[in-house]
Amino acid sequence: MDNLNNNNDFDVIIIGAGVAGFTAAIYASRERHRTLILERGKTGGLASTTHWMENYPGFPSGISGRDLTDLFRAQAEKFGAEIREFIDVKSLEKLSNGKISVHTTEEELNAPVVIIATGSLPRRLGIPGEMEFYGRGVSYCATCDGAFFRDLDVAIVGCGNSGLQEGQVLLELCKTVTFIEYFESIPGERILFERIDKAENSRFLPNHKVLRIEGEQFLERVIAENRATNKEIEIPVAGVFIYAGYKPNSDFVKDFVTLDERGYIITDDAMQTSIEGVFAAGDVRKKLIQQVTVATSDGTIAAIHAGKYLRNS
């Protein structure tokens, strides 16, 4: 284990400052490992963009995603973890001495252990108009951009938990919210659906496929197809918020660790990847359930096994 006062050498380097990364940092720094967290943007990850969480244990009245991740950060820093924001990691390399070299756009950092906790990004629909109107009506974050559409008509594409949770934000701001779902039934939690269905300014269009997004300078309408009748309908809206699943942030290690066919990092039960000393945690890892509580579990397991690896190396 390295404890030299070298700005580029650490015991544990964690890539990603979301829930999994912060949890791993809390455990690693409490073991007095010199711990560094690298984050390409602002800390918090996708969880920080969630308006309100009601299913995270310990907060019976709920808590905002930003407040929760701020608490995670404060706890990690309390135990000595160092955080560097706006650092883009380009690749990893296994050195002859067994350490992992982390190549960023600015420098190289080294550690015997690296924990990849880079999470995922919203997946695009890949339809005409989506990229053309990004920032001019198309958004992937209602918490971030909902206020721009106050008293206007908007649509949500995708009625999983993310779409329904963020849709609640829009219902309080917007004139109407149309929820468009590809499948015949709503896949999100029943309690969320029931809450939204009661709102006078909501409507659901299950079994509909979004074909294209249209407008002039700004988005004006969404064209969708009823999958049962093949009939196209026009939905006049000023904004559309897309929740069509997520893509793992793993491109920078696609030639380093083993990924599955969708780009998720494959690990064992100890969160160990195909490269010794490299662990993965959170939504970037292949698993059945992607939830904040599961990400904390991943971060815990990764940090504990990372500690065992350090002691034995």
Q: Are 284 and 116 in contact (CB under 8 A)?
A: yes
Whether 159 is a known active-site residue: answer no
Catalytic residue (one of 145, 174, 283, 298): 145
Catalytic residue (one of 11, 141, 283, 298): 141
How crowded is residue 198: how many other Cβ atoms within 10 Å of its Cβ?
8
Whether 145 is a known active-site residue: answer yes
* Dist CA 92 CA 97 (whole Å): 14
Tokens at 223, concatenated? 């064209």
Whether 174 is a known active-site residue: answer no
Catalytic residue (one of 2, 70, 144, 153): 144
Closest alpha carbon to 77 in 156, 5, 147, 21: 21
- Give catalytic residues, as residue numbers: 141, 144-145
